[in-house]
Amino acid sequence: MNLKVVAFDCDGVLFDSRASNISFYNHILEHFKRPPMDETAIDYIHAHTVYESLDYIFPDHPHMDEIIQYCRSLDYMQFIPLMLREHIW
């Protein structure tokens, strides 16, 4: 493979992933029979790592390893179309 560019996107530079993040975490919550996130949780997960976010939305779950394993089993491609390209002027 001959890579010419590696781009790291801090959210809001190249892509806005808010809708994708919401869908991802709500999908996980639904799988574990929890209600969807409220605005406070959405703001939190959008600004934190996946592990911090899972701890936040599942504060009382006795088996966090199950949740992490489920996340690892997901096909993330289903969330990619929800990412919005930022307008670069």
Q: Is residue 80 part of a domain?
A: yes
Q: Is residue 40 part of a domain?
A: yes
What's residue 88's pLDDT? 67
What's residue 5's pLDDT? 72
How much is the pTM?
0.82
Taking each helix axis from N to C terminus, what angle separates 18-31 and 50-57, rounded to the nearest 10 degrees? 50
Q: Is residue 51 part of a domain?
A: yes
Q: Is residue 10 part of a domain?
A: no
What's the number of domains the chain is made of?
1
What's residue 64's pLDDT? 95
Sort 89 into a burial class: Cβ within 10 Å, 0-12 / 13-18 / 19+: exposed
Q: Is residue 2 part of a domain?
A: no
Q: What is the pLDDT of residues 49-70, one digit of tens each?
A: 999 999 999 998 899 999 999 9
Low-confidence ranges of the chain (pLDDT < 50): none
Q: Is residue 73 part of a domain?
A: yes
Q: How far apart are CA 76 and CA 24, in angstroms?
A: 8
Q: How far apart are CA 82 and CA 20, in angstroms?
A: 5
How many H-runs (helices) and E-runs (strands) does the chain carry?
A: 4, 2
What's residue 6's pLDDT? 65
Which structural domain, as residue segments, surrounds residue 58? 15-85
C-alpha triplet 48, 49, 52: angle, nearest 5°: 85
**Coil, helix or strand for 16?**
strand
What's residue 1's pLDDT? 73
